[in-house]
Amino acid sequence: MAKVAVITGASRGLGEVLAQFLAGQGYALVLTARHAEALEKVAHSLASYNIPVKTVVGDVADAAHRRAVVDAAQSLGDLSVLVNNASDLGVSPLLPLAEYPLETLERVFKINVVAPLALAQTALPALKANGGLVVNLSSDAAKGGYPGWGGYGLTKAALDLVSLTLANELRDAGVSVVSVDPGDMRTVMHQDAFPGEDITDRPLPDVTVPFWAWLFGQDRATVSGGRYAAQAESWEAANATV
């Protein structure tokens, strides 16, 4: 049976880079995003890798969609990697917490925290069976306390705790969980955070490729529970033996 990776938010930016990387490593892929056209385009761009790719269009906040994603993965093979990359920036331009619209905050929390956890829950039987790895995409906004980034940042701080707690809870079941801060990148989301500003000094999301090579090259149990910065100058596994 093929090993399968699920990537959310796979229609552009970092999700697209991850899809190419994992396709290159030989994973069969289930890609999901809300926009069908962009998602299909990414799926077609992977033809040269000669691996099975399924697309499932929908919103990760929707339980039926999440079920469909996991079912699609299991129809392809052994679900072994779940990348929770889909994420909602919240209001654009950014607003300080004192003025933050609370209904937006609830939506962002649902997409950035509840949905990744829910997808991990749905995928858990397969992840347990296959020594799976869950990768949750975080942000330095989770720690920085940057003015304007509170709404988004607090959801990523919560997601970091989801990652760490899940890693501790699932260690004995053989499931590994990591948090990854990809760093600033020239993506649509970053542009939305700075509408109208020039962000061309930020690197393209393929700047993270060396990190993915490192992360997916490690013994999963040794990285589990770690929070990693993809653009850092060095990477050390959280549980490495020295």
Partner 1 sequence: MRRSELIFERPLDLQATQPAEVRGVSRDQARLMVSSERGHAHTRFTELAHFLRPGDLVVVNDSATLPASLPAHHSDLGVFVVSMATDFGNGTWLLEPRWSTSQPGPLPITAGMAITIGDLPTRLIAQYPGLPRLWFAQVDGDVRAAMNRVGSPIRYGYMQESQALSTYQTVFAAVPGSAEMPSAAYPFTQRVVDSLRDNGVGIAAITLHTGVSSLEVETDVVEEHPLYPEPYHVTVKAARMVNTAKREGRRVIAIGTTVVRALETAWNGHEIEPSRGFTRVYIHPQRGVNVVDGLITGLHDPVTSHLAMLYTIAGQSTIREAYQEAVREGYLWHEFGDSHLILPADRRELPDIKWIEQTA
228 is catalytic: no
The two three-digit tokens of residue 222, written as one number: 């040794």
The span from the CA of 20 to the CA of 122, in Å, is 25
Q: Which of residues 39-98 bind partner 1 (CB under 8 A)?
A: 46-50
Query: Taking a C-beta distance cutoff of 8 angstroms, is the pair 19, 28 a contact?
Result: no
Q: Give the dihedral sign, CA 236/144/150/194.
A: negative
Residues 153, 87: Cα–Cα separation, whole Å: 11
What would the x/- binding string for partner 1 be over residues 169 to 208, using CB under 8 A? ----------------------------------xx-xx-
Which residue in 27, 100, 146, 152 is the catalytic one?
152
Length of the chain measured in residues: 242
Radius of gyration of the chain (CA): 17
Q: Does 216 bind partner 1 (CB under 8 A)?
A: yes
Cβ proximity to partner 1: between 20 and 84 the closer is 20
**Whole-number minimum distance, CB 115 to partner 1, in Å?**
28
Do residues 186 and 136 touch, judged by C-beta distance below 8 A? no
Q: Which among 15-23, 53-61, 122-130, 168-176 is the span making contact with partner 1, rule CB under 8 A?
A: 15-23
Binding region for partner 1 (CB under 8 A): 20-21, 23-26, 46-50, 203-204, 206-207, 209-210, 213-214, 216-219, 233-237, 240-242
Cite the active site residues. 152
